[in-house]
Structure 1
Amino acid sequence: MVEERIRGLFAGVGAEGQVHAVPVPAGGAGAGSAGAGPGGREVAVGADDPVPIASISKVLLVLEFARQVVAGQLDPRERVRVAAADRLGGWGTAGCLDDVELSLRDLAYFAMSVSDNSAADLLLARVGLDTVRLLTKELGLNRTRIVGGPRALLESMLSEVGARDEREFALRYPALPDDRKRRLAVLDPRRTTASTPREITRLLHLVWTDAAGPPQACALVRDLMSCQVFRHRLVSGFPDDVTVAAKTGTLPGLHMEAGVVRYPDGEQYAVAVFARTRDLAASRATVDATLGGAARVAIDFLRGTGAGTSH
């Protein structure tokens, strides 16, 4: 069975995996249902088990931003200053040494292209946390929970470790026993921003069929997801002529990515892949590559080019 093959891929790199993949019809609003594909076609491995989604939640944030822009509630050219107090470390403005000024739409670009945490936090402050939460309900994502932006998750980790800032956290965290690390709220789907693989592919399906909001808003999200620079996970599993628009997420011991894979023949597939490792390293090249490999196995099956049967 295709599910057993996928489980074997993850086991081979010391991880447990969750996967959901479904076909996504081309076309405008309402094209197809946002569940399994035609005839119930899907590949599901732990697809309904809750999991922290980390930066994958930025897809919802940027979708709500795009909807507000189209509705005339926000001016995408509005200027925002990213100052020292806003920096969280990492890519984009989050790692800048000096203050940066840019537009709301550029915050959205950085949040999606390089998973800029400072950009995402400032955009969330402008869009509204409660509004993003309401969006999940409107889209029928009833098992998706947004507890806050990147800063809220970071502050949760600092508090649990007893660190005053990121520098102190970096000193204290490695010395913690693994069982203490695994009890951190950010790794518990009951206490952090979380969803299920099936609900994440539902979100992507809705965005790709213009059913998550006005067509212009959905198009902006698709365009920004296609700008992601990281190519070590989903992209690594597919040939060069296959395009992937996606969003990564990473936590200690959790590697994840969700996106839409489009083939030259026009067929496209929404896929969400999550891997939980026994160790808590944030970087594992073999695990990252397995996310792409598992997605490829699932989509090959849906295209009729792989072995096994789905359920």
Structure 2
Amino acid sequence: MRKTTEERIARLFTDVEATVRLHAVDVCSGREISVAADEQVVLASVFKILLVLEFARQAAAGQIDPRERVLLSAADRLGGWGTAGCADDVEMSLRDLAYFTMSVSDNSAADALMRRIGVDTVRLLAAELGLDRTRVVGGPRELLRSMFEDAGARDEAEFAASYPGLDPQRIRGFRALDPERTTSGTARDVTLLLRLIWQDRAGPAAACAWVRDLMARQAFRHRLASGFPDGVLVSAKTGTLPGRHIEAGVVRYPDGGEYAVAVFAETAGLAPGQAAVDSAIGRAARIAVDDLRSAASGADRPLGPA
């Protein structure tokens, strides 16, 4: 018997010892593919889409000057990519902090933006946009602080030294991995957010366009983008935590078809780099989008490249 699209997607992750929550939707028509899309999941760095959108809205409304300069010192370094890994103090504009937040998931840049615009405004934005299952606990600093505390470490250096020896069950008990105790949402909420941004309904058109541009400049191409051929634009935001491999974005075909996809993979192992899981994210996204395009092909657009 021929497997359904949802069964094919679930099997992909079973084969790599992972479970998946996925939602894919045609931005234009609203046709959708859902695999446990309403289960609460940890958002990790996918939350930064909402953060940068709020900043873009405030900038577009003249409430904040995107050229405002910010100094990031040693006390602001949270580890990871971008300014987070710099050895010396860095000064840049707020809008450049937003660029690093989205392009390389810079935790230090995101934390500085969060301090400037306020966590409460991000929570209000989620409510305004109808993201009813999205809860915002804090930014990268709060997430990392909870991980240090749960590991019994006083700082990043102590955490890095002790983490490899921690019992896996203790790690799985971290608040940062529990949707009930950290920033979380659902795959469906995330694709709703993306759809609103792509339709200029998440704020001023200029703000939405800027967020779309930043997402198109993400440096990481090993998850969603890996499932699609050249000529297909994938604008996305990745997220990674122990045992969590996440990416959400919009896939745009040359014929104009646009598809919002959110994939949350949870693995049995805790290693941050699992190429088979990352590849499965791209393949699952492709299967879902192919299904949506097939459903639309007889109506308003050709299939385009395979």
**TM-score range with shorter-chain normalisation?**
over 0.9
- Counterparts of 1:83-102 in structure 2 under 5 Å? 83-102=73-92
Pair 1:11-2:1 in alignment: no
Which residue of structure 2 lines up, in the alignment, with residue 250 of structure 1?
Answer: 240
SS in 1 for 2:13: helix
1:20-76 Cα offsets, whole Å, 9 max, x none, are 000012xxxxxx6xxxx1xxx211001000000100000000000000001110000
Q: Tell me how far apart the structure 2 counterparts of residues 167 and 125 of structure 1 sit (CA, whole Å).
A: 24
Report the alpha carbon displacement of residue 305 of structure 1 after superposing the two structures with TM.
Answer: 7.8
Q: Tell me how far apart the structure 1 counterparts of residues 198 and 243 of structure 2 sit (CA, whole Å).
A: 30
Task: Detail structure 1 runs of 4+ shifted over 2 Å in the superposition.
Answer: none
Pair 1:220-2:210 in alignment: yes
SS in 2 for 1:241: coil
Which residue of structure 1 lines up, in the alignment, with residue 129 of structure 2?
Answer: 139
TM-score by length of 2: 0.94
SS in 2 for 1:67: helix
Match of residue 117, structure 1, among 103, 107, 127: 107
Match of residue 198, structure 2, among 189, 208, 222: 208
- Counterparts of 1:31-110 in structure 2 under 5 Å? 37=30, 41-110=31-100
Q: Tell me how far apart the structure 2 counterparts of residues 182 and 46 of structure 1 sit (CA, whole Å).
A: 21
* Number of corresponding residues: 293
Report the alpha carbon displacement of residue 226 of structure 1 after superposing the two structures with TM.
Answer: 0.6
SS in 2 for 1:77: coil
* Stretch deviating more after TM superposition (119-128 or 161-170): 161-170
- Counterparts of 1:152-171 in structure 2 under 5 Å? 152-171=142-161
Report the alpha carbon displacement of residue 176 of structure 1 after superposing the two structures with TM.
Answer: 1.7
SS in 2 for 1:293: helix
Q: Tell me how far apart the structure 1 counterparts of residues 46 and 96 of structure 2 sit (CA, whole Å).
A: 18
TM-score by length of 1: 0.93
SS in 1 for 2:92: strand
Q: Tell me how far apart the structure 2 counterparts of residues 211 and 84 of structure 1 sit (CA, whole Å).
A: 38
Match of residue 232, structure 1, among 197, 202, 222: 222
Which residue of structure 2 lines up, in the alignment, with residue 28 of structure 1?
Answer: none
Q: Tell me how far apart the structure 1 counterparts of residues 279 and 202 of structure 2 sit (CA, whole Å).
A: 30
SS in 2 for 1:159: helix
SS in 2 for 1:225: helix
Q: Tell me how far apart the structure 2 counterparts of residues 71 and 6 of structure 1 sit (CA, whole Å).
A: 42
Which residue of structure 2 lines up, in the alignment, with residue 298 of structure 1?
Answer: 288
SS in 2 for 1:303: helix
1:222-274 Cα offsets, whole Å, 9 max, x none, are 01101100000000000011000000000000000000000011101000001
- Unpaired runs of 5+ residues, structure 1, are 26-31, 307-311
SS in 1 for 2:249: strand
Which residue of structure 2 lines up, in the alignment, with residue 22 of structure 1?
Answer: 25
Q: Tell me how far apart the structure 1 counterparts of residues 275 and 76 of structure 2 sit (CA, whole Å).
A: 30
- Unpaired runs of 5+ residues, structure 2, are 297-306
Q: Tell me how far apart the structure 1 counterparts of residues 171 and 219 of structure 2 sit (CA, whole Å).
A: 29
Supply the RMSD in Å over aligned alpha carbons.
1.1
Match of residue 275, structure 1, among 265, 270, 273: 265
Give the letter aligned to residue 237 of structure 1.
Answer: G
Q: Tell me how far apart the structure 2 counterparts of residues 89 and 177 of structure 1 sit (CA, whole Å).
A: 23
Which residue of structure 1 lines up, in the alignment, with residue 301 of structure 2?
Answer: none
Q: Tell me how far apart the structure 2 counterparts of residues 120 and 265 of structure 1 sit (CA, whole Å).
A: 34
1:138-190 Cα offsets, whole Å, 9 max, x none, are 00001101111101000001011110111111222222221111111011000
Which residue of structure 1 lines up, in the alignment, with residue 5 of structure 2?
Answer: 2
1:124-150 Cα offsets, whole Å, 9 max, x none, are 111111000000000000110111110
1:80-121 Cα offsets, whole Å, 9 max, x none, are 001000001111000000000000000000000000000000
